[in-house]
Amino acid sequence: MLRDAIVSGQLAPGQRLVEAKLAEEMGVSRNPVREAIRRLEHEGLVEALPRAGMAVAGIDLADVVQLYAVRSVLEGLAARQAAGRLTAEQAERMERSVAEGEECRTRGDLECLVKSSSDFHRTVLEAAANRRLEALMEILDVHVSRYRRLSLQAEGGPAEVLQDHRRILTVLKQGDAEQAERLMRAHLQRSGQQIIRFLGGKEGTKAFASGQAGYNLAMPVFGSR
């Protein structure tokens, strides 16, 4: 419950987590709440504040850059491998997620948009059929979920995401592995930039595009091929 509340933004970055209050609200003793907070600290969703107890971890722009640099490589590989393995049922599921995403965007339904985007990416990973890759993505999943919501709140974000999804699906169905990887990596690099734009505005985008965080979302992590 606490993890979902943090990922959804119900518990805001910096908000203090008071065990007694949370235990009362959830109708449980303080022990499971304490253990939950300890686990969330290990996951990086909760942090200790000097002389102020525990709080929801803030969202750091450098972490966004680093996470999306890693995510673009891993999911780019997933798209490359899925291009040769995508089944008709998986393609239909992805078509449905894009169509649902368009309906969500029209209604302005953020929760629906987050779900449709998540379904799309999860199906690509499933189609890749690479258990090691799935295990690595599972480690990142909670942070990806938190940041996905932010990218879809950026101005123009939903339209760009859905356009990218349509293009990726087209090349996956064509079986073009190289193009699928390229489009997926470009898509996730744009998503990272959308989050930076949403959180830090133009100045934040410029700062990270110039490489101040040690990464540049526009450049390949492993250099050119």
Does this model's pTM top 0.85? My answer is no
Going along the chain from its start, the domains and CATH numbers come out as 2-56 (1.10.10.10), 61-209 (1.20.120.530)
Tokens standing for 106?
Answer: 């029209």
pLDDT in tens, the chain (225 residues): 888 888 878 888 888 988 888 888 888 988 988 898 899 888 888 888 887 788 988 888 888 889 999 999 999 999 999 998 999 999 999 999 999 999 999 998 888 998 999 999 999 999 999 999 999 999 898 888 888 888 887 777 889 999 999 999 999 999 999 999 999 999 999 999 888 888 875 444 444 444 434 333 333 332 333
Residue pointed to by tokens 């890693």? 70
Taking the mean position of all CA atoms in its chain, how far away is CA 155?
A: 17
